[in-house]
Structure 1
Amino acid sequence: MVSSRRPESNPSGGLESPPADEQPKRQRRIQSVVVGMRVLQVLTEQHRPLPLKELAQLAGMPPGKAHPYLVSFMAAGMVKQSPLTGHYELGPMALQMGLAALQQLDPLTEASQEAALLAARADLSVALAVWGHLGPTVVRLDEPRYPLHVNLRVGTVMSVFNTITGRVFAAYLPERMVRTMLEDEHRRVVGGTSADFDSPEVQQLLQEIRATGMGRGQSVPLPGVNTLCAPVFDTAGHIALVITMFGPQGAFDADIDGPAGRMLREHADAVSRRLGAQGRR
C-alpha cells in the first residue's frame, strides 16, 4: 500500500532534513590530544629548548596546564628536559617519528595533488618535472578545460638553459651536476662542447631566479606562451622537483608578484613544507 503522506517542510520552505542517523557523522576526536599537540608544535617551530613559562605562553595556555602535557610527553619519549636548565625540547621518540615520516614521503605523490589544485584554480596548464638522467623530465601534466597545444607530454625532456624549468633546476642544483648535463645536452643537440654556463648573462639569470625564488618567461622559449616555474625543496634543502605553470600570453600574466605567481608560490611552498623543508629557499 502506497502512503499518501507528503514530505514535511521545514520552516525555510525546503524538505525536512533526513534523520540524524542518516546524516554524515563527524569523526570523534580527543580534545586533550588536540590541545597537547600545541605544545609539540611550539617545540617543533622554535628549534631550541624552552623554559616552561615561555613554552606555555607560545602554546597559548597557562604553565599549570602545559606542565601535565609535558610530563606525559616525557614519559612517552616525545619530550625531554635538560637536568641543568630545566628547559624542554623534543625527545628521541619525536626524532624517530619524524624520520619515519620522511622516509614515507614521495615528492611526486605530495606534489601531484597540489598540481591538480593549482591547474583547477588558475585554469592553466601545470607540469611537474624532476631531474632525470637526461635533464629536466616531465612526470605529470595537468591541463585546463581548454588545453594549450604545445609539444609537451609526460616523459618530455627539457633543455637545461633553453627552458624556464631547466633554468630553475640549474639555479639550485650543484654546479658540477649542471655543467655535466649542459655539456652532454650540447653534444647531443649541437655537437662539441659548451661554455654557456660561465657567461655573465647566464650567471645573472641564475642569480635572479635564486633572488626571487621563481623563474619567469614571456614568449620564451615558445612564442606566445608565458611560463612561471617554482622549485620544491626537501628536508635537506635540496631541490626535489619544479612546478611549471604555462598559458597563452594574452590570458596569462606571468608576473612573479601577480595573482598567478602568488598562487604558484603558495602551492610550491605547501609541497616543500610537507617534504620537511624549513622556510623558503
Structure 2
Amino acid sequence: MPRNSSSQQTSVRRKGIQSVEIGVGVLDAVVRLGAPAGLTDIARASGMSTSQAHRYLASFVNSGLLRQDAQSGLYDMAAGAIRIGLAAMARLDIFAEAGDLVQKFVDMTGRTALITVWGEQGPTVIRWYAGNPPVFTTISIGSRLPLTRSATGRVFLAFMKEEHVADLQRAEMALDRATSPVDINAVKLKVREAKMASISNDLVPGLRAIAVPVFDIQKQLTMVVTTIASNSFDPAGDAAIADSLLNSCRELTQRLGGSWPS
C-alpha cells in the first residue's frame, strides 16, 4: 500500500509578480521553439497577443536575455540567458534531483525503484529505493543488468547510440540460449514508441519491471529509472504505475534541461 507523504499535500502557490511570471512564459516559449523565432510564433507559443508579446520581447532584448537579428527580425537567446543557464547547470546535482523525484514516486506508490546508468560493463544499478512492502531480490546496488532481457537494458538499447551498445548486444545474443530469440529491432521500436519498457517473470522469476528513460541537456540518455514489483502488488495497477513513472521521468528530464522525445 502507498505510504502517506507530505509530497502528496497540495502546495500553496506563493504570491508573486504576475508580469514577471508572464515574462518567464515568453522566455520559455523561445526555448521550446528550439530555433530563432519571429514575433507571431512566439506570441502563439506564449498564448498572448503579438502586441503584448512584443513588449516583453523588447524588455528582454534591452536586458540582454534575448537578441533580435537586425536583418531577419527573429528573436533568440542572448548572452545574459546563456550565463544564467550555464550557472544553473554548474550548480545542478543530477543525482540529487533524481533522488528527490524517485523517492517521491516510491512514497506515493509504495513500489520499489532503482536508478541505473551506463557503466563500463553496461547498465549498472547505482541507487535503490525500497518500497512498502520491500522487494527481496538478488539485484542490488552495483548489479549489472542485461541489455536484451531486462526492462532497464531495453531502454538503454533503444535510446543509446548504436556504437555504445553494439559490442555488449552481440555478446549477449551469442550467449542467449532461449528458444525464442529477442527481436532487437522490434524491441527498439516498441520502447521508442512507448517511451518505456516492461517485462514480467523474464529476468527474475516472480518480478515485474517497468523502466523509463531520463535525458540530459544534450538530448542524450543519462539514466534509467526502473520500478520493480513482486506478486504482492496487483498487476492491474501496473498501468497507473507506468503513467506515474513516465510523469516523474519527464519532470526529471525537464529539471536537467533535457528534452523529452516526441
Q: Same fold (TM over 0.5)?
A: yes
Contact 1:226 1:252 in 2 (8 A): no
Match of 1:151 in 2: 138
Q: Distance in 2 between matches of 1:265 and 1:135?
A: 23
Q: Distance in 2 between matches of 1:110 and 1:228?
A: 20
- 1:154 alignment partner AA: I
Contact 2:215 2:260 in 1 (8 A): no
Match of 1:271 in 2: 252
Matched positions, count: 247
Q: 1:262 aligns with which of 235, 238, 243?
A: 243
Matches within 5 A, 1:70-81: 70-81=57-68
Q: Distance in 1 between matches of 2:118 and 2:45?
A: 40
Q: 2:166 aligns with which of 164, 179, 183?
A: 179
Structure 1 position 136, deviation (Å): 1.3
Q: Which has the larger radius of gyration?
A: 1
SS of corresponding position for 2:235: coil
Match of 2:117 in 1: 130
CA offset digits 1:128-175 (Å, max 9, x no partner): 111111221111111122201111222222223232212221222222
Q: Which stretch of the first structure deviates more once superposed, 80-89 or 138-147?
A: 80-89
Large movers: runs of 4+ above 6 Å: none
Structure 1 position 203, deviation (Å): 3.1
CA offset digits 1:58-116 (Å, max 9, x no partner): 43555554444333321221111222243433223223322333344343222111111
Stretches of structure 2 that go unaligned for 5 or more consecutive residues are 1-12
Q: Distance in 1 between matches of 2:40 and 2:190?
A: 43
Could you state the TM-score of these two structures normalised by the residue count of structure 2? 0.80
Q: Give the alignment's Cα RMSD to 1 decimal.
A: 2.9
Match of 2:76 in 1: 89
Check 1:204–1:254 CA distance in 2 against 1; reply closer, same or farther (3 A cut).
farther
Structure 1 position 224, deviation (Å): 1.5
Q: Please say if 1:194 is aligned against 2:181.
A: no
- 1:236 alignment partner AA: Q
Greater length-normalized contact order (CA 8 Å, ≥ 6 residues apart): 2
Check 1:68–1:146 CA distance in 2 against 1; reply closer, same or farther (3 A cut).
same
Q: Distance in 2 between matches of 1:67 and 1:160?
A: 50
Structure 1 position 262, deviation (Å): 0.7
Stretches of structure 1 that go unaligned for 5 or more consecutive residues are 1-25, 187-192
Q: Which stretch of the first structure deviates more once superposed, 28-37 or 244-253?
A: 28-37
Structure 1 position 124, deviation (Å): 0.8
Q: Distance in 2 between matches of 1:227 and 1:118?
A: 15
Q: Which stretch of the first structure deviates more once superposed, 48-57 or 81-90?
A: 48-57
